[in-house]
Amino acid sequence: MTFFAILAAILLEHFHPLPQPWSPKLARPLQYLAHHLNAGAHQHGIFAWMLAVLPILLITGAIYFALSAVSLWLAWLWNIAVLYLSIRFKSCTLAAESVNQALAENDMARAQNLYTAWRGGDQSPAVADDLLRASIEGLFSDALRHLLGVIFWFVLLAPLGPVGAVLYRLTDSIAGQWKTGALGEFAHFAQRMMHILDWLPTRITALSFAVAGDFEDAVYCWRSQAADWADHNQGILLASAAGALGVKLGMPLNLSRGEIWRPELGLGDDADSSYLNSAISLNWRVLTIWLLLLLLMALAKQAG
């Protein structure tokens, strides 16, 4: 049932992607919690995170078990509904393709607006090559944060219904809102929780990139380049993906406020528009590998 719930949710999201994610709706409540509970101490951030996450997890789990008591089919539909709301892969690929199309038409202003609407923030790269490279990186990050990480935690906590998927997506949303640069120690626990939840799925995803692409280069880049990235989890993900794809990622980004230095990741050619399409294909191959493994696990379980 777990495999078919995942497959159904992915198909729903592919053919009917949600126009807007639900996570931005949490911005105001999370800002309210940060404003009223942040007294500059680490324990206040722990309390605020628990206050934001635990009630939603309890409600999600309670609905699942209540539906299970009535009908396993209703519980299965609840799993699909929550996964559908948690996954945002098709909409992310569409956003990346829109940026790529605008760059192909030499419409830099539209490409920047599309990138900002997709990735958030108040600035986008000011140079076309940087914008394309950042879009490819964004695709790989979204494949983890909005698809593979959700699937991983849903499967790991499957006895609790969709609690794992909600835990991952909520933690990601909170970490995006509560930054240590703005909130100091208050945000440390939220960032740490995201790092913990990402640790294993990042490495499994990076290994999947290697299997689905150039294995030798992916492993080499993972081992030799990932440690130079500020966020080690993200460094592993992007280094492996760049090596598997045979493209150079990372490197400095030119923004309107100045240049952001970043180490080089990957081997091979500089990124061009064809590599963005290749990045989408690589993500789909990884998803196919995951689904096949989940199917084999389900069949093995049925066989006893």
| DSSP result, 140-180 | HHHHIIIIIHHHHHHHHTGGGTTHHHHHHHHHHHHHHH--H
- pLDDT > 80? residue 23: no
Kindly state the average pLDDT of the residues 15-37.
81
20 pLDDT tier (thresholds 50, 70, 90): confident
Confidence (pLDDT) at 101? 92
**CB-CB contact of 2 with 163 (8 Å):** no
**CB-CB contact of 233 with 198 (8 Å):** yes
Confidence (pLDDT) at 183? 83
- pLDDT > 80? residue 194: yes
Helix axes 149-156, 2-15, angle to 10 degrees: 150
Highest mean pLDDT among 38-42, 114-118, 180-184: 114-118
Kindly state the average pLDDT of the residues 246-274.
87
93 pLDDT tier (thresholds 50, 70, 90): very high
Tallying the residues shown for the chain, one arrives at 304
Phi-psi region at 297: left, alpha or beta (left = phi > 0; alpha = psi -120 to 50): alpha
CB within 8 Å of 46: residues ≥ 6 apart:
189
Confidence (pLDDT) at 39? 82
Residue appearing with tokens 């990139």: 209
Confidence (pLDDT) at 126? 84
Highest mean pLDDT among 37-46, 103-112, 208-217, 266-275: 208-217
Confidence (pLDDT) at 296? 92
Q: Return the bridge partners of 260, or none.
A: 253
264-265 vs 247-250, strand pairing mode: antiparallel
Short-list 132, 141, 165, 138, CA closest to 22: 165
Kindly state the average pLDDT of the residues 131-136.
92
123 pLDDT tier (thresholds 50, 70, 90): confident
Lowest-confidence pick of 1-15, 19-33, 106-120, 167-181 = 19-33
Helix or strand (DSSP H, E) at 260:
strand 258-260
- Token pair, residue 223, equals 């081992």
Q: Return the bridge partners of 264, or none.
A: 250
Percentage above 70 pLDDT, the chain:
98
Which pTM was predicted? 0.93
SS3 content of the chain, % helix, strand, coil (to 5): 80, 5, 15
**CB-CB contact of 5 with 83 (8 Å):** yes
What are residue 213's phi and psi, to 5 degrees?
Answer: -125, -140
Confidence (pLDDT) at 133? 93
CB within 8 Å of 214: residues ≥ 6 apart:
243, 244, 245, 246
Q: Which residue has the higher pLDDT, 277 or 24?
A: 277
Q: Return the bridge partners of 255, or none.
A: 258
List Cα–Cα distances, 114 to 137, 173, 279, in angstroms: 15, 21, 18
Confidence (pLDDT) at 122? 66
Q: What is the pLDDT of residues 233-251, one digit of tens each?
A: 999 999 999 999 999 999 8
Mean pLDDT of the chain: 91
Confidence (pLDDT) at 304? 66
Residue appearing with tokens 């539906």: 67
Q: What is the pLDDT of residues 154-184, one digit of tens each?
A: 999 999 999 999 999 999 999 988 887 778 8
What CA–CA distance (Å, rounded) separates 178 from 106? 36
Helix or strand (DSSP H, E) at 183:
helix 180-183
**CB-CB contact of 266 with 209 (8 Å):** no
